[in-house]
Structure 1
Amino acid sequence: MTTDPPARSRPAITLTVVLLAFVTVPMSISGAAVALPGIGADLHAAGAPLQWVMNAYNLTFASFMLVSGSTADLAGRRRTFAAGAGLFAIGSLAAAAAPGITLLDLARGLSGIGAAGVFASAGAILATTFDGAARTRAFAALGSAAGLGLAAGPTLSGWLVGALGWRATFGLHAALVAVALIGVGHIAESRAAQRPRLDVSGAAVFVAGLGALVLGSVQGPEWGWASPGVLALLIVGVVLLVLFVVLQARSAAPLLDLSLVKNRRFLALCMVPVVSTFGFVTLLTYLPTYLVGASGFSPQRAGTVLLLMTAPVLLAPPLAGGLVNRGVPARVLITVSLASFAGGNAWLTVIGPSTSVAVIAGPLLMVGLGAGLSFGVGDGAAMSLVEPEQAGMATGFLNTMRIGSEAIVIAVYGAVLVSLIGTRVGSQEVAAKVAAGDLTGGAFDTLAAGFTGALHTTLYGTAAVCVVGTVAIAAALGRPRRDIAASPASDDSPQPTKVA
């Protein structure tokens, strides 16, 4: 790895700049959802065009993550971070000024590409700036920043939409990243020592393949999972991703070094955010609609209740980082984290239309604690297994698993929930409205009971997935050290996080 002269590098400012940008990117996901009603009313949009305010961002965010990570290794992590933050800010400003829904959707797609650059390079910057205990603390702070962005997004957006209108939400995102850009000059540049050309063909195949897979998943609930369009997108996506793997195996300078994926512990740590999506993000997405629709909560009260689940995400990462620095293996914390998702989702089946907040407080706190224990610590442990030369590539792959799984799992989870509600209320059209929190299409008690039963089934299913994920990941992280020695990167890397 090569690094520019370190005189300009200021670790404290580096961490602050990275954290500020890292807060804003997930804030743009959760905050934009609150602005959708205002956008629809102002721009006279509804249905798919309006939903693409969210989908365009998620699609490009996931699809360009790996490309951004490899670009960071080749062109420079600071340069990629600055370019990504600049694109994000421009896209957010364009969204704030968009005169129509089509331009708004395009602007959000541009913001997603920029967000990929920020996410893919941020972890690589921290991995190459900090070592040992300082690295663990830095990644713990990164986990808290991501949680803060997810938790604060809806609240800040709600205030801004009520006081200034929906355009102010995107203006805030642009302003926050612009402030971060001011400090970019204090980040030391680093890149791979050998700088081959970017694998353009591999990048094109990967972006097209993952994009088709995510697009098919997003459109599945609307077009129908058996529709020709969705089936074609899913098949094309899978074929292109298989082709991508073949191309990478033959490439002299691959976009993704397959030796990373062959490192079982690194791959297991990359699966942690996938399980987190099942156990945490799905609840963050669909529980508010249940509380508003079936329990009769106001949106403000529903948001307050969700603090039981989001507050631990802000507080637990520093605690987890401190435990790792005191000798607690990251593997133990990650296993507890994933088991908490399983237990919390199963426990949450106590929920019903008239259930008090006190009854569901326990499972929500358990799920939030699980998310907080793995946010940051899991990323830091993954990066400790990677050579500095591949920091951007590894971060890009890790976050591709995170964002790609969110886009796909949330779409599938929603489709399953609607289907289960439909079997109980006798109409898929009414079920779609119920799942969105609208229980005005029939007898309220019947619809609420159908929603509750469907939610309980999905919660048990989610808990089962989390149990399988917990066992598989714990087993992979605990394999014998003689196997680790055969990996391309092991605990012998400089100042690693203690994984097992």
Structure 2
Amino acid sequence: MPVKAQERATERESGRSGALVLAAVLVAVFVVPTSISGTGVALPSIGADLHAGLVPLQWVVNAFNVAFACFTLVWGSIADIIGRVRAFALGAVIYAAASLVSVLATDVLLLDAARALAGVGGAAIFSGGAALLSTVFEGPARGRAFALFGTVAGIGVSFGPSLSGVLIDGAGWRWVFAVHVAVLALVLPAVPAMSRAVGHTRNPDARVDVPGSALFVLAMLLLTTAIAQGSQWGWGSAGVLGLFAGTAVALLAFVAVERRVAHPVLDLGVVANRRFLALCLVPVAGSFGFVTMLTYLPGYLTGAAGYSSGAAGAVMLLLTVPMLVLPMAAAKLVARGASALGVIRLSLVLLLVGVLGLELFSPEVNLGLVALPMLVTGAGYALAAGLVDGQTLELVAPERAGMAAGFLNTMRLGSEAIAVAVYGALLATVVTARTQDALAGYPVDPAAVAATAAGGDLAGPVASVPEGQRDGLTRVLVDAYDGAFHTVAGVLAGICAALLVLVLVLLRGSAKQR
């Protein structure tokens, strides 16, 4: 065979191998963020079916998010040791097995454990998948591959609630997890071909930073548990304060360990750059202003406004549609000379304005009135989604890009877990306070009813009282849930405003340093 013909054949084979790896990674990556955002839609159905209390029900979401956030950095190291294809495949197997257990679960605690295991698998899919794309593609092809990676992840997060709503209405909440099993079952047969395409990527000299990883995981678990239990134990209780204190001790120990180990899971020097730190805080604002609404706004629509799960998922499209067009639009603006930091600043302003506009929600509100705030909130999240990663990684040397990306994604995923836990805990606290006296005239356990209502299930407590009292109890619970929603939304707006100010100050300070 002539040399040129042989080169063309090799290029075609390489292209087919790269396309296979890209397709497998994108399919698996799509599943993970749909689970992050879509599971919240199923919480009322899960709570009613499994007779779950509020805190165990919240951990159906929290367990996945916390495990995912904690193990993202760890799996990056493991992929270097055992090979990137193997790490990716192992993550897919863990995720599929955990999802199958979720389908079959008859107890909420078993479901919580399965969701935590799925989070561990999801972290491997993301870390191993990103490493695979970096290995297989080079130059402009690598840029396109990572653009698709980010777009698919964003679409998964954005449309997870809508897809879950359709599945719940049509077949029940268990099918939310059954679909994950089916999709990943399509990915695993491609693993042998992926191994042949990628080759050996093991680094036998690499070592996992076990002490640092363990301390980081411990700190995240203590922090999220403290937030989740605050509404049950009391925010000033010895248990909650002890958990917060333990978080601080674990983080201090983590910093001390990372300064001394030869191969730290996080090089603390990457956060010394003020511009780098500012950009890493941008997705944190998105977690509090956007991801929390993706997770819990469907519960408000079904519980307080009387929407079906499918209708609530359809309404959520107003929040998620901007994700389809604005990331690419933002990239084109910057390519034509617009300031990337200017677009990012605009995104934070839009996010804050949108969250403030969500205060217009009420059980009887006209959908047209809240459509604009929902679109603005989605736009604020979507504009920065594609820019932050590129702008952040430009600030570090190529050999430190993996660690920088790991830190950015830890900030992104960790803040999502914390934001969702904060929202759920505050909602439960406010609902309990608002119903404590009003439920005295009903033959119910006020604490149990408040906890159930805070989980989005208002129909269950109403059905448990005599028919003549149902209308009155419905009004009490709807008013309490509606008031709690607005209180928590105000807190989220305050957090977004504080992050906006902090990012602006850090960016200004970085400009002065330069």
Instruction: With the length of structure 1 as denominator, give the TM-score of the two structures.
Output: 0.83
Shift of 1:101: 4.6
Distance (Å, rounded) in 2 between the aligned partners of 1:192 and 1:396: 19
Identify which range, 273-282 or 64-73, moves more after superposition.
64-73
Does structure 2 retain, via aligned residues, the 8 Å contact 1:320–1:333? yes
Q: Aligned match of 1:118 in 112, 125, 131? A: 125
For residues 294 and 334 of structure 2, the distance between their equivalents in structure 1, rounded to whole angstroms, comes to 27
SS in 1 for 2:306: coil
Give the stretch that moved more between structures: 329-338 or 143-152.
143-152
Counterpart CA distance in 2 for 1:258 and 1:480 is 18
Q: Which segment is superposed worse, 440-449 or 461-470?
A: 440-449
**Amino acid in structure 1 at the alignment position of 2:506:** A
Instruction: Give 1:27-426 correspondences, 5 Å limit.
Output: 27-36=34-43, 39=46, 46-73=53-80, 75-98=82-105, 100-126=107-133, 137-184=144-191, 185-186=193-194, 188=198, 195-421=205-431, 424=434, 426=436
Are positions 1:461 and 2:491 aligned together?
yes
| C-alpha contact (below 8 Å) 1:349/1:459 kept by paired residues | yes
Q: Which runs of 5+ in 2 are unaligned?
A: 1-9, 438-445, 463-469
Q: List aligned pairs for 1:442-453, cutoff 5 A.
A: 442=472, 448-453=478-483
Give the AA of the match of 1:228. A
Cα distance in 2, alignment partners of residues 166 and 293 from structure 1: 16
1:279: Cα distance to partner? 1.0
Q: Partner of 2:423: helix, strand, or coil?
A: helix
Higher Rg:
2
2:54 paired with 1:24? no
Contact 2:53 2:451 in 1 (8 A): no
DSSP-derived class of the 1:250 partner: coil
Query: How far did 1:351 drift?
Result: 2.5
CA distance in 2: counterparts of 1:247 and 1:462, whole angstroms: 33
Deviations 1:288-311 (A, max 9, x none): 233333333333322211110011
Distance 2:511 2:135 in 1: 25
Tell me which amino acid in the other structure corresponds to 2:388: G
C-alpha separation between the residues in 2 aligned to 1:86 and 1:463? 39
Change (3 A) 1:91 1:297: closer
Cα displacement (A) at 1:268: 2.0
Flag structure 1 segments of 5+ consecutive residues without an equivalent: 485-500
Residue 208 of structure 2 aligns to a residue whose secondary structure is: coil
Residues 449-489 of structure 1: CA distance to partner in whole angstroms, max 9, x if unpaired? Answer: 554444334333322322332232244345557846xxxxx
- For residues 61 and 403 of structure 1, the distance between their equivalents in structure 2, rounded to whole angstroms, comes to 7
Check conservation: 2:305, 2:362, Cα contact below 8 A. yes
Say if 1:127 and 1:478 are closer, same or farther in 2 by CA, change over 3 A: farther
Identity among equivalent positions (%) equals 45
Q: Give the number of the structure whose residues are more often helix, by fraction.
A: 2
* Whole-angstrom CA distance in 1 between matches of 2:307 and 2:387: 35
Could you say if the C-alpha distance between residues 36 and 423 of structure 1 is closer, same or farther in structure 2, counting changes exceeding 3 Å?
closer
For residues 38 and 202 of structure 1, do their structure 2 counterparts lie closer, same or farther at Cα, with a shift above 3 Å needed? Answer: same
2 CA distance for matches of 1:301 and 1:91?
Answer: 29
Deviations 1:84-115 (A, max 9, x none): 22321222233334465554433322211111
TM-score, normalization by structure 2: 0.81
Q: Is this contact kept in 2: 1:145–1:314, CA < 8 A?
A: no
CA distance, structure 1, for counterparts of residue 79 and residue 378 of structure 2? 32
